[in-house]
């Protein structure tokens, strides 16, 4: 396999889910190093130097997030790990937690030490109950070996780690809704400001990080932030877990160095090995269901004709007109047999189902979009419906409390932007649309101006 | 004191004031509409998105504009902030969008709704709504549930502002109703049929901006604009006893709290004059009230247009 692996290198060692095997293979070295040789500020400094960006989707620099944490006297601080991975197309955290649970726990201890948290939480998606048991077993092992509890490794640092399951709501992956849910309330996102770094869990300063982000702290502390920053391109440093799914020869979870080209990732022998059954690539969603879809001609090349790379910047190149986002790394590939209208409807249905119902544009708009798309998909749509969808999109986007509204609007907007012919074909050929597929679209390169 | 400019009008406010409250200090047309924010109930706001405004400059220190429209009820002003409400086309368009969202599933049963005439959604629809709906689907309906013999819950009309949830949190010892389910299916409900019954539960009716919570003792009795609102007072041990009685001839049809021009219950002697259920539902005999005189309804609703004001409202001019 090409490229360095920092997170899942040891996944295939038998028994790696147990403490002893994990420890023998260099596990908990970062805890030892951080607690014995470093101050919390030094750990934060290493993370800053590494250029690590949040792996949950937004890509916010982790070191900066950590340095925003308010530190008032006498108030506890919390670290919460967001393991509520529910984005359609994303399954990297599940893989990580299931195969190598001690990596997350090691990352939690090191990160909690850096932030000065004495109680930390892993908020795990309710559907991952079996992983909750894996994590609890691993926590018990870590505690038995003195990695958790009072006076860890004789450093005087105390930490309790609690795994809390959610109730199965996508919205609880939003950090403030997660905190509400963790407090035992209805998982409605909070108004921001105040941000969790000032007022989070139980009104105390809190940092919420994705599983992969916390796991990445381990190699950063072990090898140093500068070493980590050498991997990758520009502001996209380190390795990223990509969960590839769809019509690929070899879908799965891949750890790749940032900067691998998208073409290499889809067709390369080390990665997905091309589109299944010898079909052609039609479209790709590079970062989980909520990011804009890209048509085939914009997947491997940007609108400028440059090679598109698996980095935060390159995937976003061209803005929403001709780009997308790396998001959480849920790489979904569609072959020529897939119907974009149907897929868009499926996503719209998901977001309508998962909207918390708190603010009006999202509550009403997602449901409305779902119904209009249902009509279009089933051959009852009109041309006005396509315009209507665009208008609903514009009214939801940016007007909601949390990013779920945007997440619901972007895929629909992008699908219409790039696959308008297919939507129109569903209107003009309602009976045909029920029995066969539109097929590949013709690239409209001339219409998409490079930004 | 910090300076903020809203629609080219400068105002000085206390630090920490929200944009909406700063606009209310100016008054008039620059005040954004608010369906969920209620200044007397801490924690409300941010949900309906009708009060979205454009922040053209964040502050003197950081004069960059904010990229998104901000909910004015929950965004604090900064020194030198420049806000656009009426003067922004973007705000106008998006507020229209929000109103459309609020109306797509609203039953529009105003002709049989007791709230008609004092409904905030009517006002909002009048100002920002369009004449025709683009919503072709069947409107969402809920199974009716009984929440007691005093308050009628019409979930179909609800816009989920959460005000009644906050009023129950604030005024009563234990809240028995709340929001169930999520997304489109979210509804105000009691968990396993339970009557909302305590001394101050009637205030849920006063805070409801639409006709989702109405007074069962007044149900279908009269249109509000046929009634004369009168300021009245009674000796009550539970509440301030200061209320408005709505009369037809010598009969009292209903009792409400005294509300200001934003539809919020007034502060009397620095205390929000919530009224108790006994005053609201049981004292319908004029002899139990000391009626002091007509109550001016300071909102541009049909009530104030007909009765005491001879001034032609701006709203009327628009029609003419």
Residue A267 sits in a domain of what CATH number? 3.10.20.600
Both A50 and A143 in one domain: the answer is yes
B49 to A356: CB separation less than 8 angstroms, yes or no: no
CA distance B34 to A382: 35
Segment A163-190, tens digit of pLDDT? 999 988 999 999 999 999 999 999 999 9
Both B182 and B247 in one domain: the answer is no
Segment A225-236, tens digit of pLDDT? 899 999 988 889
Contact status, residue B239 vs residue B276, Cβ threshold 8 Å: yes
The secondary element (H helix, E strand) that includes residue A373 is helix A360-377
B184 to A367: CB separation less than 8 angstroms, yes or no: yes
Both B113 and B88 in one domain: the answer is no
Say if B45 is an interface residue toward chain A (CB within 8 Å): yes
- Examine residue B130 and state whether it is found in any structural domain, yes or no: yes
Both B118 and B204 in one domain: the answer is yes
- The predicted pLDDT at position A221 comes to 93
Both B122 and B200 in one domain: the answer is yes
Nearest C-alpha of chain A: how many angstroms from B101? 6
Q: Which of A356, A357, A405 to mutate to test the interface with B (most CBs of B within 10 A)?
A: A357
Both A331 and A281 in one domain: the answer is yes
If you measure CA to CA, which chain B residue comes closest to A387?
B134
- Examine residue A306 and state whether it is found in any structural domain, yes or no: yes
Nearest C-alpha of chain A: how many angstroms from B81? 17
Both A262 and A357 in one domain: the answer is no
Average pLDDT over residues A116-142: 93
Sign of the torsion formed by the C-alpha atoms of B18, B19, B25 and B31 = negative
Which pLDDT band holds residue A1 (cuts at 50, 70, 90)? very low
Among A283, A316, A335, the domain-final residue is A335
A287, A286, A86: which is closest to A174 by C-alpha? A86
CA distance A264 to B296: 74
Say if B134 is an interface residue toward chain A (CB within 8 Å): yes
The pTM (predicted TM-score) of the whole model is 0.90
Chain B hits for A365, Cβ within 8 Å: 101
Contact status, residue B81 vs residue B55, Cβ threshold 8 Å: yes
- The predicted pLDDT at position A443 comes to 54
- The predicted pLDDT at position B307 comes to 52
Which residue from A193, A355, A395 is facing B183, i.e. has the nearest CB?
A355
A191 to B104: CB separation less than 8 angstroms, yes or no: no
Both A399 and A311 in one domain: the answer is no
Question: Which regions in chain B score pLDDT beneath 50?
Answer: 308-315, 317, 319-320
A364 to B102: CB separation less than 8 angstroms, yes or no: yes
Helix intervals (H) in A15-151: 19-24, 29-37, 40-50, 62-67, 92-99, 101-115, 129-144
- Examine residue A12 and state whether it is found in any structural domain, yes or no: no
If you measure CA to CA, which chain A residue comes closest to B93?
A395
Higher pLDDT, A151 or B307: A151
Q: Under the phi-then-psi rule, with left for phi > 0, alpha for psi from -120 to 50, and beta for the rest, what region is A438? A: alpha
Mean pLDDT of chain A: 90
Say if B104 is an interface residue toward chain A (CB within 8 Å): yes
**The token pair that represents A207 in the structure block:** 């940092």
Among B218, B242, B277, the domain-final residue is B218
- Examine residue B319 and state whether it is found in any structural domain, yes or no: no
Chain B hits for A354, Cβ within 8 Å: 182-183
What is the number of structural domains in chain A?
A: 3
A353 to B183: CB separation less than 8 angstroms, yes or no: yes
B69 to A169: CB separation less than 8 angstroms, yes or no: no
Residue A87: Cβ within 10 Å count = 24
Say if B69 is an interface residue toward chain A (CB within 8 Å): yes
Contact status, residue B24 vs residue B31, Cβ threshold 8 Å: yes
Segment A114-126, tens digit of pLDDT? 999 999 999 999 9
Both A108 and A211 in one domain: the answer is yes
CATH number at residue A130: 3.40.50.11540
CA contacts within 13 A on the Cβ side of A422: 30
If you measure CA to CA, which chain A residue comes closest to B178?
A186
Show the domain range for A439.
Answer: 340-447
Which residue from B49, B134, B136 is facing A399, i.e. has the nearest CB?
B49
ipTM higher than the 0.85 cut: yes
Q: Which residues contact B303 (CB under 8 A, 6 or more apart)?
A: B117, B118, B224, B225, B229, B297
The distance in angstroms from the start CA to the end CA of chain B is 43
- The predicted pLDDT at position B189 comes to 87
Q: Which residue numbers of A have CB closer than 8 Å to B's CBs?
A: 169, 171, 186, 191, 193, 352-361, 363-368, 371, 375, 388, 391, 394-395, 398-401
Both B136 and B198 in one domain: the answer is yes
Nearest C-alpha of chain A: how many angstroms from B319? 28
Average pLDDT over residues A253-263: 91
B49 to A363: CB separation less than 8 angstroms, yes or no: no
- Examine residue B124 and state whether it is found in any structural domain, yes or no: yes
Nearest C-alpha of chain A: how many angstroms from B182? 5
For residue B84, the 8-state DSSP code is E
- The predicted pLDDT at position A441 comes to 67
Q: Which of A186, A399, A402, A403 to mutate to test the interface with B (most CBs of B within 10 A)?
A: A399
- Examine residue B318 and state whether it is found in any structural domain, yes or no: no
User: Does residue A62 have a pLDDT over 50?
Assistant: yes
Which residue from B48, B181, B183 is facing A367, i.e. has the nearest CB?
B183
- Examine residue A6 and state whether it is found in any structural domain, yes or no: no
Both B35 and B70 in one domain: the answer is yes
List b or e across A406-438, with b for residues whose CB sees 16 or more CB atoms inside 10 angstroms.
Answer: bbbbbbbbbbbbbbeebbbbbbeeeeebeeebb
CATH number at residue B22: 3.10.20.740
Both B127 and B75 in one domain: the answer is no
Which residue from A353, A360, A368 is facing B98, i.e. has the nearest CB?
A360
Q: Which of B46, B54, B75, B182 to mutate to test the interface with A (most CBs of A within 10 A)?
A: B182
Show the domain range for B278.
Answer: 224-306
Q: Which of A194, A199, A320, A360 to mutate to test the interface with B (most CBs of B within 10 A)?
A: A360
Treating both helix axes as pointing N-terminal to C-terminal, what angle do A129-144 and A92-99 enclose, rounded to 10 degrees? Answer: 40
Say if B159 is an interface residue toward chain A (CB within 8 Å): yes
If you measure CA to CA, which chain A residue comes closest to B50?
A360
Segment A354-392, tens digit of pLDDT? 999 999 999 999 999 999 999 999 989 999 999 999 999
If you measure CA to CA, which chain A residue comes closest to B70?
A399
Chain B hits for A191, Cβ within 8 Å: 45-46, 71, 74
Say if B90 is an interface residue toward chain A (CB within 8 Å): no
A399 to B97: CB separation less than 8 angstroms, yes or no: yes
B184 to A169: CB separation less than 8 angstroms, yes or no: no
Nearest C-alpha of chain A: how many angstroms from B250? 42
Both B114 and B210 in one domain: the answer is yes
Treating both helix axes as pointing N-terminal to C-terminal, what angle do A29-37 and A101-115 enclose, rounded to 10 degrees? Answer: 10
CA distance B143 to B154: 9
Both A24 and A149 in one domain: the answer is yes
Chain A hits for B186, Cβ within 8 Å: 356-358, 363
What is the number of structural domains in chain B?
A: 3
Among A181, A204, A230, the domain-final residue is A230
Both A283 and A349 in one domain: the answer is no
Chain A hits for B55, Cβ within 8 Å: none
Both B173 and B259 in one domain: the answer is no
- The predicted pLDDT at position B306 comes to 53
Both A30 and A149 in one domain: the answer is yes
Both B7 and B93 in one domain: the answer is yes
Which pLDDT band holds residue A34 (cuts at 50, 70, 90)? very high
- Examine residue B23 and state whether it is found in any structural domain, yes or no: yes
Among A335, A364, A383, the domain-final residue is A335
A448, A425, A428: which is closest to A437 by C-alpha? A425
Both B177 and B112 in one domain: the answer is yes
CATH number at residue A409: 1.20.1440.230
CA distance B289 to A293: 67
Nearest C-alpha of chain A: how many angstroms from B295? 34
Average pLDDT over residues A425-441: 84
- The predicted pLDDT at position B146 comes to 87
- Examine residue B314 and state whether it is found in any structural domain, yes or no: no
Among B60, B81, B99, the domain-final residue is B99
A191 to B71: CB separation less than 8 angstroms, yes or no: yes
CATH number at residue B149: 3.30.70.20
- Examine residue B244 and state whether it is found in any structural domain, yes or no: yes
Both B70 and B89 in one domain: the answer is yes
Nearest C-alpha of chain B: how many angstroms from A225? 32
- The predicted pLDDT at position B320 comes to 43
């Amino acid at each position: 396999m090409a490229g360095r692996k920092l997170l899942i290198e040891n996944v295939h060692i038998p028994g790696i889910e147990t403490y002893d095997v994990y420890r023998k293979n260099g596990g908990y070295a970062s805890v030892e190093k951080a607690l014995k040789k470093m101050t919390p500020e030094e750990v934060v400094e290493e993370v800053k130097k590494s250029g690590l960006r949040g792996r949950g989707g937004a890509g916010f620099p982790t070191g900066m997030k950590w340095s925003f944490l308010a530190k008032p006297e006498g108030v506890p601080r919390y670290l919460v790990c967001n393991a509520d991975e529910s984005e359609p197309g994303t399954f990297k955290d599940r893989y990580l937690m299931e195969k190598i649970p001690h990596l997350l726990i090691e990352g939690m201890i090191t990160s909690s030490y850096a932030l000065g948290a004495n109680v930390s939480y892993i908020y795990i998606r309710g559907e991952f109950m079996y992983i909750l048991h894996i994590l609890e077993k691993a926590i018990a092992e870590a505690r038995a070996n003195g990695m958790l509890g009072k006076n860890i490794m004789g450093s005087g640092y105390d930490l309790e780690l609690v795994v809390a399951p959610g109730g199965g709501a996508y919205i609880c992956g939003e950090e403030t809704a997660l905190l509400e849910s963790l407090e035992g309330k209805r998982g409605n996102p909070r108004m921001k400001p105040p941000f969790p770094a000032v007022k989070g869990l139980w009104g105390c300063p809190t940092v919420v990080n994705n599983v992969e982000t916390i796991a990445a702290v381990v190699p950063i502390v072990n090898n140093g932030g500068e070493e980590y920053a050498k991997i990758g391109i520009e502001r996209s440093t380190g390795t990223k877990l990509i969960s590839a799914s769809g019509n690929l020869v070899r879908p799965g979870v891949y750890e790749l160095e940032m900067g691998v080209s998208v073409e290499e990732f889809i067709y390369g022998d080390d990665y997905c090995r091309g589109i299944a059954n010898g079909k052609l690539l039609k479209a790709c969603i590079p970062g989980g269901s909520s990011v804009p879809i890209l048509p085939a001609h914009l997947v491997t090349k940007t609108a400028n004709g440059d090679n598109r790379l698996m980095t935060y910047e390159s995937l976003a190149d061209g803005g929403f007109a001709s780009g997308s986002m790396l998001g959480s790394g849920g790489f979904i590939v569609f072959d020529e047999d897939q119907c974009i209208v149907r897929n868009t409807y499926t996503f719209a249905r998901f977001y309508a189902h998962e909207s918390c119902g708190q603010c009006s544009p999202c509550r009403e708009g997602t449901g409305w979009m779902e119904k209009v798309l249902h009509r279009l998909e089933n051959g009852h749509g009109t041309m006005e419906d396509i315009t209507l969808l665009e208008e609903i999109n514009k009214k939801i986007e940016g007007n909601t409390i949390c990013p779920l509204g945007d997440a619901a609007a972007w895929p629909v907007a992008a699908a219409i932007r790039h696959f308008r012919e297919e939507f129109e074909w569903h209107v003009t050929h309602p009976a045909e649309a029920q029995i066969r597929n539109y097929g590949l679209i013709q690239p409209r390169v001339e219409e998409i101006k490079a930004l | 004191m910090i300076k903020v400019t809203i629609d080219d009008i400068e105002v000085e406010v206390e630090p920490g004031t929200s944009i909406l409250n700063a606009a209310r200090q100016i008054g008039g047309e620059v005040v954004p509409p608010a369906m969920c924010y209620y200044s007397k109930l801490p924690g409300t706001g941010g949900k309906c998105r009708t009060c979205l405004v454009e922040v053209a400059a964040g502050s003197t220190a950081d004069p960059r504009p904010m990229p998104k429209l901000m909910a004015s009820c929950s965004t604090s002003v900064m020194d030198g902030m420049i806000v656009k409400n009426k003067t922004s086309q973007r705000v106008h368009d998006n507020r229209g969008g929000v109103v459309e969202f609020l109306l797509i599933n609203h039953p529009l049963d105003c002709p049989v709704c007791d709230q008609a005439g004092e409904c905030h959604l009517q006002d909002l629809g009048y100002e920002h709504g369009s004449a025709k709906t683009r919503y072709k689907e069947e409107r969402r309906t809920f199974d009716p549930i009984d929440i007691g013999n005093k308050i009628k819950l019409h979930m179909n009309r609800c816009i989920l502002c959460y005000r009644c949830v906050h009023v129950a949190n604030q005024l009563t010892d234990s809240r028995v109703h709340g929001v169930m389910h999520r997304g489109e299916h979210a509804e105000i409900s009691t968990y396993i049929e339970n009557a909302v019954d305590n001394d101050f539960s009637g205030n849920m009716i006063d805070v409801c901006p639409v006709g989702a919570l109405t007074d069962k003792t007044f149900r279908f009795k009269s249109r509000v604009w046929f009634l004369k609102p009168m300021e009245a007072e009674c000796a009550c041990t539970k509440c301030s006893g200061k209320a408005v009685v709505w009369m037809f001839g010598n009969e009292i049809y209903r009792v409400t709290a005294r509300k200001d021009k934003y539809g919020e219950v007034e502060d009397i002697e620095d205390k929000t004059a919530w009224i108790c259920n006994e005053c609201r539902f049981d004292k319908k005999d004029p002899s139990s009230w000391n009626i002091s005189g007509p109550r001016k309804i300071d909102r541009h609703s049909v009530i104030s247009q007909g009765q005491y004001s001879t001034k032609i409202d701006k709203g009327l001019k628009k029609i003419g």
